[in-house]
Structure 1
Amino acid sequence: MAKEDFNDLLWFLAVAEEKSFTRAAAKLGVTQSTLSHTIKRLETSMGIRLLTRTTRSVATTEAGERLRQSLAPRVAEIEAEIAALMEFRDKPAGTIRLTLSDHAFESVVWPKLGPVIASYPDIRLEFSIDNGLRNIVDDGFDAGVRLGESVEKDMIAVRIGPDWRLVAVASPEYFAVNPLLEHPQDLIRHNCMNHRQTRGGGLYVWEFEKDGQEIRVRVNGQLTFNTTHAMVDAALKGYGIAFVPENLVERHIASGDLIQMLDDWCLKFPGYYIYYPSRRQGLPAFKIIVDALRQVEP
C-alpha cells in the first residue's frame, strides 16, 4: 500500500466505527461522495471488500472487522502519545543551549536560572562559557547573552541585567613601586593586563569617557587573559593593572586589597541582553528561560 493510502485507512475506521457514511463524513469534515469514493478506492487497492452497504446501514465484512480491530488500538495509541506530547505546553521540556561570557553567567544568568532547574525538572540547560562573540544560528545555539550594544539588529533582544562598568584596579604593592594614574593615557607607561577576544583573536582596547571626551587606550603588559577571574587574581597578587567588571572587585576595593583608579573616567555599558531569532520565542521551555532572565525595572 502506498504511503498516501494511510489516510484512507483512517477514513475507513471512521465509517466502521460510526456505521454510517453520513455521520463519518460529518466527523471527518468531507462530503459523503468523497468519502464513498475513497473507501471504494481502498477496497480496490487491497482487493478485499471491507464494508457491506444497505440502504439503512453500513457494516464491516469479516475482513473489514479484522482490519478495524487491528487499526483501532494502534490509532488510539498514536492519539494518546500526541496528547502526551501536547502536555509539554503545560510541563515545558527540552534542551536550551546558551552562549555567554563568564561574567554574564556568574553575575546575571546563573543566579536567575538556578531556581528554574528545581521548578522545571524537564528543562535542560547547556551553557557554553565563551567571552567571544558567537554566531548563535551557525553554531547551533538557541540564544546568546551579550551587552546591548553588541546585539545584531535582526535578533530579538530582551534586557536581563542592569548597566555596569569596567574599572581599573591594581594592588597597593603594585602602586608602591609605580606612579598613580591621573589620566587614561598614563596607562601606556604601566604594566597592564590585556584581554584577548576569543573570536577573532584581537585584544580589547580599554575605553574611557569623561565630560563627553572619549579615549581608547591600547595597553601593554606581561600578561594576557581571556577570562576576567584570572585577571582579578593576578591584580591581587601585584602583577599589574586589570580592567575588570566592577562587581567582581567591589569587596577587594572595600577591603583595601585593590586600589581603584580613574573612577570618573570609567563609563557604564548598557547591561546584558539575551538575544535570539524570532522562531525560538514560541517554544514553551524557551519562553520560561527568557521570562526568568528578564530584567525587572525598579
Structure 2
Amino acid sequence: MKIEDTAGIFRTMQRMPLNSLELFFTIAKRGSVRAAAAELNLQPSTVSHQLRALEQQLGVRLFVRTTRSVTLTDAGHELWEQGLPAFEKLRRAIENTQERDQKIRGTLRLNLPEIAYEVCLADRLAEFYATYPDISLDLTLSDQMVSVAAEGFHAGIRFGHRLHDEVIAAQISPPHRTVVLGSSDYFQDHGVPQVPQDLVAHDCLQYRFVDSRRTAEWRFQIEGEVQVQPVSGSLTSSSLGVLVDRARRGHGLILTSDQLVARELASGKLVAALSEFAYEYPALYIYYPKDYRGHPCLRAFVGFFRSGEGGP
C-alpha cells in the first residue's frame, strides 16, 4: 500500500466513531446488548446509550430489538458486510503500529478441545509464530469446561453454547455442521443410509469424551426437531484423528464437524451422507476472565485468530 493511500485511510477514519463502530460489530457478533457489554467491559445501559447515539448519527436503525436479543436490519447488514473487513484491517494495522517497538513475549496457557486445535489453530500456528516469535503457547487438550483462572490458564476455547456471561469471549470460527462420513468403498459395500434410523445397520465409530467418559451423541435435525439416533460400532476412541483415519480406510462411519474434515471431503477421501439432517453447533470462541483483558500475549492471540472468524 502506498504511503499516500495509508494517510488517506487514517484521515478518513479520524472522522468516524471508531468506538461506536466497535460496539456495533460486537453487538452483531454476540447477538445481544448484554453479551456485548460483557465483552467490552461496559454496563448494558452504556452500550444501549452508545448504540442509540450511533444510530442517530447515521440516521438509520441498525438493529431490531427484543427483550432477549437484537437482529440486524437491512441497513445493519450492509454496515456489517461492507464495514467489518475495513474496520478489522485498520484495527490490526493500529495494533501492529503500536506494538512495533514493544515486543510481546511470554507464555500463554490455553485449555481447548482437540477439535478446536484442528479447526482453528493447526493451519495457522506457523503464521502466528512468525508474527509473534517471542510468544510461547502451552496447550492443554481437554473436553472439560474449566474455570481458566482457577486452573492456571489464561484462556480457553469452547463452543459458544457452553459459555456464560461472566467471561469475555471472541468468536474464532464459523458455526459447525455435523456430517456422517465414510469412504466410497464402505458405502459401495454397505450402502448409503437414507435416514438417520438406517444407521442401526452400520458400523458407527464413536467418540468418547476424555474427561467425562461419555460417548458423544449422534444428533440430527429431523422435521425441525433435534433427535438423537442410537448407534453402535466396532470402535470407540477419544481421538478424533483415530476416528477420521479408520473411516478413511473404510472401517466404518463417523459423525463429526464439517470443518474438521474439509480436506478429506474436498479430496474425495471421505464422502458425506445424511447431509439434509445435519445438526448445527455454534461457533468456537476463545474465552477468558475480564481481569486478563489487558494481557499482552492474550490480546495478540485473540487479535490474530479472530481475524478468520465467521459472521453472524
Question: TM exceeds 0.5?
Answer: yes
Per the TM alignment, residue 122 of structure 1 is displaced from its structure 2 partner at its CA by 2.7
Query: Is the contact between residue 187 and residue 219 of structure 1 (CA under 8 Å) also seen in structure 2?
Result: yes
Alignment correspondent of 1:109: 121
Question: Counterparts of 2:104 and 2:267 in 1: how far apart (Å)?
Answer: 45
Alpha-carbon spacing, 1:257–1:297, altered in 2? closer, same or farther (3 Å) = closer
Alignment correspondent of 1:94: 106
Give 3-state SS (helix, strand or coil) of 2:161's partner.
Answer: helix
Per the TM alignment, residue 110 of structure 1 is displaced from its structure 2 partner at its CA by 3.9
Q: Which amino acid aligns with 2:280?
A: K
Query: Is the contact between residue 200 and residue 230 of structure 2 (CA under 8 Å) also seen in structure 1?
Result: yes
Query: Is the contact between residue 195 and residue 227 of structure 1 (CA under 8 Å) also seen in structure 2?
Result: yes
Alignment correspondent of 1:166: 178
Per the TM alignment, residue 219 of structure 1 is displaced from its structure 2 partner at its CA by 1.8
2:235 corresponds to 1:223: yes
Alignment correspondent of 1:209: 221
Note the 1:189-208 alignment, pairs <5 A. 189-208=201-220
Query: Is the contact between residue 173 and residue 310 of structure 2 (CA under 8 Å) also seen in structure 1?
Result: no
Per the TM alignment, residue 149 of structure 1 is displaced from its structure 2 partner at its CA by 1.1
Alpha-carbon spacing, 1:91–1:259, altered in 2? closer, same or farther (3 Å) = closer
Query: Is the contact between residue 180 and residue 254 of structure 2 (CA under 8 Å) also seen in structure 1?
Result: yes
Question: Counterparts of 1:218 and 1:290 in 2: how far apart (Å)?
Answer: 38
**Residues 16-35 of structure 1: per-residue CA shift (max 9 Å, x gap):** xxxxxxxxxxxxxxxxxxxx
Q: Which amino acid aligns with 1:196?
A: R
Question: Counterparts of 1:153 and 1:188 in 2: how far apart (Å)?
Answer: 40
Per the TM alignment, residue 212 of structure 1 is displaced from its structure 2 partner at its CA by 1.2
Alpha-carbon spacing, 1:119–1:252, altered in 2? closer, same or farther (3 Å) = closer
Alignment correspondent of 1:264: 276
Note the 1:1-298 alignment, pairs <5 A. 90-295=102-307, 296=309
Give 3-state SS (helix, strand or coil) of 1:232's partner.
Answer: helix
Q: Which amino acid aligns with 2:237?
A: F
Per the TM alignment, residue 239 of structure 1 is displaced from its structure 2 partner at its CA by 1.4
Alpha-carbon spacing, 1:137–1:199, altered in 2? closer, same or farther (3 Å) = farther
Q: What TM-score comes out, normalization by structure 1 length?
A: 0.64
Give 3-state SS (helix, strand or coil) of 1:294's partner.
Answer: helix
Number of residue-to-residue matches in the alignment:
212
Alpha-carbon spacing, 1:284–1:228, altered in 2? closer, same or farther (3 Å) = same
Question: Counterparts of 1:251 and 1:90 in 2: how far apart (Å)?
Answer: 38
* Consecutive aligned runs of 4 or more in structure 1 exceeding 4 Å deviation: 295-298
Give 3-state SS (helix, strand or coil) of 1:121's partner.
Answer: coil
Per the TM alignment, residue 113 of structure 1 is displaced from its structure 2 partner at its CA by 4.3
Question: Counterparts of 1:287 and 1:89 in 2: how far apart (Å)?
Answer: 16
**Identity %, equivalent residues:** 32
Across the aligned residues of Structure 1 and Structure 2, the Cα RMSD in angstroms comes to 2.4
More moved, 222-231 vs 110-119: 110-119
Per the TM alignment, residue 175 of structure 1 is displaced from its structure 2 partner at its CA by 2.5
**Residues 222-275 of structure 1: per-residue CA shift (max 9 Å, x gap):** 101112121111012221111122234344344443331101111222211001
Q: Which amino acid aligns with 2:132?
A: Y
Alpha-carbon spacing, 1:133–1:223, altered in 2? closer, same or farther (3 Å) = farther
Q: What TM-score comes out, normalization by structure 2 length?
A: 0.61
Alpha-carbon spacing, 1:189–1:274, altered in 2? closer, same or farther (3 Å) = same
Query: Is the contact between residue 182 and residue 262 of structure 1 (CA under 8 Å) also seen in structure 2?
Result: yes
Structure whose CA Rg is larger: 1
Q: Which amino acid aligns with 1:220?
A: S
Query: Is the contact between residue 112 and residue 292 of structure 1 (CA under 8 Å) also seen in structure 2?
Result: no
Question: Counterparts of 1:185 and 1:288 in 2: how far apart (Å)?
Answer: 46
**Residues 61-96 of structure 1: per-residue CA shift (max 9 Å, x gap):** xxxxxxxxxxxxxxxxxxxxxxxxxx9993322211
Alpha-carbon spacing, 1:93–1:167, altered in 2? closer, same or farther (3 Å) = same
Give 3-state SS (helix, strand or coil) of 1:247's partner.
Answer: coil
Query: Is the contact between residue 220 and residue 277 of structure 2 (CA under 8 Å) also seen in structure 1?
Result: yes
